[in-house]
A and B are shown apart, each in its own frame.
Chain A
């Protein structure tokens, strides 16, 4: 262990701002070699401490890439960790035993043969894959394979086991995204106004850039200020802090998507404060991607948080005070600063004086134009004065860039905020904000601490006010002279307005003309300014087109490093201003989110009937029927069919839609809902009905019983239950002034169908109060009485084609009645049967299943239901469409068929004839239901055929597993055509 710790050659002595625990060491491997890390280290900080500078190879040219942003924004440190690709090593904690590997390298990170692609880069211009690999088209699969191997990001382990993902819903009055100075101030201000606040921070600690800026205010280091402010936030009873949480999207009505590890957070907030800060961005110059070139914020993060510095001789290129401060910090930790170039004319005198005390050359109005590499990393830089008169080469192994910022305004843009380019600040600033969305801090273009604090408080108060907290109640309840929110808001707005006008640029205007080769605008996709110029020359001159053609900003960083630079280069070559060039659309997610987190756990509800456990115990094979679980069979569906046909069976039909219809207008409602007549249905009668939608498509079917003049009982199909309820209510509430009250009783009642020649005998044993004789209780009638001592509604209907009773009882008694019937049926050889046996028997009877035998285009005249439709009725839903449709004639029909040679086709098999299709066949129909009937000992089914081919005996061809088989139209029903058994 001791030997591996000694490998940390670039580790600095301990300092208070560091977040590593040197007492605890973990080890992990990178590219097969073992490294050590302290608790608190990220993978990248531990590797940097060991002197690693190359972390990845670039996407297209396979150039060496090292740490650039150290903040989880740029693509340079993406690694594969175990089975997970594209891990941002600079923000991922190093953990014991991690296996970390470089991505997109062959054979290894240090010797990547694909880097030779940069020697042939003239063959890889922007949009090369649109041009080079198009012909011959037959070779594309080969090209694709090669390209996918050469490019790509990491490898997906297809054997990876699904992880555990979670989901949580949250609500807040005010949500603050970003736990830096502005965000913490916002949260405190809103919480003090009594709002319930959620503060979302993407990193492990609150404090933002204060944690690593290295600055002091008087005697106090700012990271101490950050810590004490964070403690105040954490202690506030109205604030919930969510750390390590990425708010990745803002959707309509302030619906926020966030992810915390494997947990997806869906958050509704009345007001939103975005205090997400700014991304430091690199300038564009030749070889600006070499390992050893880092952003100033990245250097400060490594020094202050992890005690790591990756270089011995530095050059700092700056355009704001933070660059000079970083130079001073480097000197203090023992790095030689060879030169400081600053693009500004007027520099911060005190900082310059301090640098000069240390003998550092400070060059105002100077920038970097080129970097040169040694074997593996930066070796020197070329600095040039902005007027071009002076140029010098300076040796260094670390180049620090503090030349500009881009506001991290993705959430604001998603919310509909407008930004405008500010020529003075060289940054995008906010032009307008949508309702209930506020912004504070660096995201607004303010980099001065006083401004940031004020803006934070202002946004917090505005957000609280917008969420309905005006401060008056609090003032009264505390008997304090707390100013109402509005007064303080006005005060702050005045102050901010004054200081806004005096803001100075922290981002340098770039050199207009870019120097030469390999000056990267986009690190993700290896797009240079030359590529952008070429794209514009080829006509892709608007930003949206340019983006899609050159792929600039389309990689893992989604423009965080390159958006502004791409705009600048595009504007330059178009001879436009940046305002005229315009930006691209910002969409969620702000940063990549794991698919698993979005997918989450399977949260689909499952419904079970009261008899579910009985079925399971009896060994039923359960199947999904919509959200329901139903027994498909209990082991032998053919035996179940035989039991019903010869003796008696019992099926659980509790999943049926069941409705109570009360009111004097129920018959009028039924007349309009169903295609057939209902007015003369007497008390105690049951009728089958079919519902159409407005387009005359068959929507549902079922039976309805008249129990009293003003009380009917309707059943609908299991899958149609909820939509039928919704449908009927849409008409009742949508303007039909009918005296009908509809109650969905689907869950109130359990139902079972006792059916078979001995059904009456079985029922007789447990039924009281109903004369079950055929004369007193005939087919298609309803009776109420007691079954096994329970109030029951009995419908004598026959989906199976045998004598049968549907028994509807209160849900709580479903199991009791079921068991009583099973016991009573024992002496008659009763069997429980499942959906499969029922499907076989209904097919033998030629009954259709809506949605299986019919589809979203089937009208009842085609579907074998024409006998039911009463077009002479005044009106019913779908009638008008049906009349118009019937005027065109019937083109296809649903008919029964048999297979003379006994082949069993599959449902969905095509019916074909010789024609012009791709294999010389034309599809003219399809099989919707087919089974081998154990009763009739032949293959029977239902199919759609052209109307002229529907005569009984007509033969046709079915494509079954690639072979053509003969089917023959048959008369329906296949079984008991006279209905003797139903009526017995």
Chain B
């Protein structure tokens, strides 16, 4: 069981979290095509290496992004979606 660092609560067992999938950009709903939309819904890169992905921490209700190596399970960084 890996450890994840919730930006609010600190390091916890992954059993407290839910995986939210790779980060993806939602296409503009007014301009999208079937292919783009299908890509957004279903196609994932599934990289062997560092991946940015969403995680939800059930204990505090926060969604954050983790940079995780999919093979070594090293967590390089966790952070909230930056304010732009």
Residues of A with Cβ closer than 8 Å to B? 251-253, 255, 266, 268, 694-695, 722, 725-726, 729-730, 733-735, 744, 874-875, 879-881, 884
Which 4 residue pairs of A and B lie closest in terms of their CB atoms, listed nearest first? Answer: A733-B63, A255-B1, A252-B2, A880-B29
Q: How far is the CA of A884 from the CA of B34 in the complex (A)?
A: 7
A266, A729, A734: residue with the most chain B Cβ atoms closer than 10 Å = A734
Q: Which of A255, A694, A875, A881 contacts B30 (CB 8 A)?
A: A875
Does B76 reach chain A (CB closer than 8 Å)? no
Contact between B81 and A735 (Cβ–Cβ < 8 Å)? yes
Question: What count of chain B residues pass the 8 Å CB interface test?
Answer: 21
Q: How far is the CA of A725 from the CA of B57 in the complex (A)?
A: 12
- Apart from the given pairs A268-B3, A729-B63, A884-B37, 11 other A-B contacts in the complex at a CB distance below 8 Å: A253-B1, A268-B13, A695-B41, A726-B56, A726-B58, A729-B62, A730-B20, A730-B56, A734-B63, A874-B30, A884-B34
Shortest beta-carbon distance from B16 to chain A in Å: 13
Does B18 reach chain A (CB closer than 8 Å)? yes
Contacts of A729 in B (CB 8 A): 56, 61-63
* Contact A730 to B54, CB < 8 A, known contacts A251-B1, A252-B1, A694-B41: yes
Contacts of A255 in B (CB 8 A): 1-2, 13
Contacts of B29 in A (CB 8 A): 875, 879-880
Q: How far is the CA of A951 from the CA of B56 in the complex (A)?
A: 45
Contact between B41 and A744 (Cβ–Cβ < 8 Å)? no
26 contacts between A and B (CB under 8 A): A251-B1, A252-B73, A253-B2, A253-B73, A255-B13, A266-B1, A268-B3, A722-B58, A725-B61, A726-B18, A726-B56, A726-B61, A729-B61, A729-B62, A730-B20, A730-B54, A730-B56, A733-B63, A733-B81, A734-B54, A734-B63, A735-B81, A874-B30, A880-B32, A880-B37, A881-B41
Residues of B with Cβ closer than 8 Å to A? 1-3, 13, 18, 20, 29-30, 32, 34, 37, 41, 54, 56, 58, 61-63, 73, 80-81
Q: Which residue of A lies closest to B34 (CB)?
A: A884
Contacts of A252 in B (CB 8 A): 1-2, 73
Q: How far is the CA of A317 from the CA of B70 in the complex (A)?
A: 49
Contacts of B56 in A (CB 8 A): 726, 729-730
Contacts of B2 in A (CB 8 A): 252-253, 255
Contact between A733 and B1 (Cβ–Cβ < 8 Å)? no
Q: Which residue of B lies closest to A257 (CB)?
A: B1
Q: Which residue of B lies closest to A169 (CB)?
A: B13
* Contact A734 to B81, CB < 8 A, known contacts A725-B61, A729-B63: yes
Q: Which residue of A lies closest to B73 (CB)?
A: A252
Contacts of A881 in B (CB 8 A): 37, 41
Contact between B13 and A733 (Cβ–Cβ < 8 Å)? no
Shortest beta-carbon distance from B81 to chain A in Å: 6
Q: Which residue of B lies closest to A744 (CB)?
A: B61
Contacts of A879 in B (CB 8 A): 29
Contacts of B81 in A (CB 8 A): 733-735
Shortest beta-carbon distance from A547 to chain B in Å: 24
Shortest beta-carbon distance from B67 to chain A in Å: 15
Shortest beta-carbon distance from A743 to chain B in Å: 10
Q: How far is the CA of A730 from the CA of B61 in the complex (A)?
A: 9
Q: How far is the CA of A880 from the CA of B54 in the complex (A)?
A: 23
Contacts of B41 in A (CB 8 A): 694-695, 881
Q: How far is the CA of A725 from the CA of B63 in the complex (A)?
A: 12
Shortest beta-carbon distance from A307 to chain B in Å: 44
Contacts of B62 in A (CB 8 A): 729, 733
Q: How far is the CA of A538 from the CA of B51 in the complex (A)?
A: 43
Contacts of A735 in B (CB 8 A): 81
Q: How far is the CA of A212 from the CA of B41 in the complex (A)?
A: 64
Q: How far is the CA of A880 from the CA of B27 in the complex (A)?
A: 10
Contact between A253 and B61 (Cβ–Cβ < 8 Å)? no
Contacts of B34 in A (CB 8 A): 884
Contacts of B37 in A (CB 8 A): 880-881, 884
Contacts of A726 in B (CB 8 A): 18, 56, 58, 61
* Contact A730 to B73, CB < 8 A, known contacts A268-B13, A735-B81, A875-B30: no
Shortest beta-carbon distance from A645 to chain B in Å: 41
Contacts of B32 in A (CB 8 A): 880
Contacts of B54 in A (CB 8 A): 730, 734
Shortest beta-carbon distance from B22 to chain A in Å: 13
Contacts of B20 in A (CB 8 A): 730
Shortest beta-carbon distance from A272 to chain B in Å: 14
Contact between A733 and B3 (Cβ–Cβ < 8 Å)? no
Contact between A733 and B73 (Cβ–Cβ < 8 Å)? no
Contacts of A266 in B (CB 8 A): 1
* Contact A253 to B3, CB < 8 A, known contacts A695-B41, A735-B81: yes
B18, B61, B81: residue with the most chain A Cβ atoms closer than 10 Å = B61
Q: How far is the CA of A447 from the CA of B23 in the complex (A)?
A: 51
Contacts of B63 in A (CB 8 A): 729-730, 733-734
Q: How far is the CA of A695 from the CA of B40 in the complex (A)?
A: 11
Shortest beta-carbon distance from B61 to chain A in Å: 6
Shortest beta-carbon distance from A466 to chain B in Å: 15
Q: Which residue of B lies closest to A884 (CB)?
A: B34
Shortest beta-carbon distance from A862 to chain B in Å: 19
Shortest beta-carbon distance from B44 to chain A in Å: 14
Shortest beta-carbon distance from A174 to chain B in Å: 17
Q: Which residue of A lies closest to B32 (CB)?
A: A880
Q: Which residue of A lies closest to B80 (CB)?
A: A733
Contacts of A695 in B (CB 8 A): 41
Contacts of A694 in B (CB 8 A): 41
B20, B63, B73: residue with the most chain A Cβ atoms closer than 10 Å = B63
Shortest beta-carbon distance from B74 to chain A in Å: 9
Contacts of B30 in A (CB 8 A): 874-875
Contacts of A251 in B (CB 8 A): 1
Q: Which residue of B lies closest to A875 (CB)?
A: B29
Q: Which residue of A lies closest to B3 (CB)?
A: A253
Shortest beta-carbon distance from B59 to chain A in Å: 12
B32, B37, B80: residue with the most chain A Cβ atoms closer than 10 Å = B37
Shortest beta-carbon distance from A326 to chain B in Å: 43
Q: How far is the CA of A266 from the CA of B34 in the complex (A)?
A: 47
Q: How far is the CA of A735 from the CA of B81 in the complex (A)?
A: 7
Q: How far is the CA of A255 from the CA of B1 in the complex (A)?
A: 6
Q: How far is the CA of A884 from the CA of B38 in the complex (A)?
A: 10
Q: Which residue of A lies closest to B74 (CB)?
A: A435
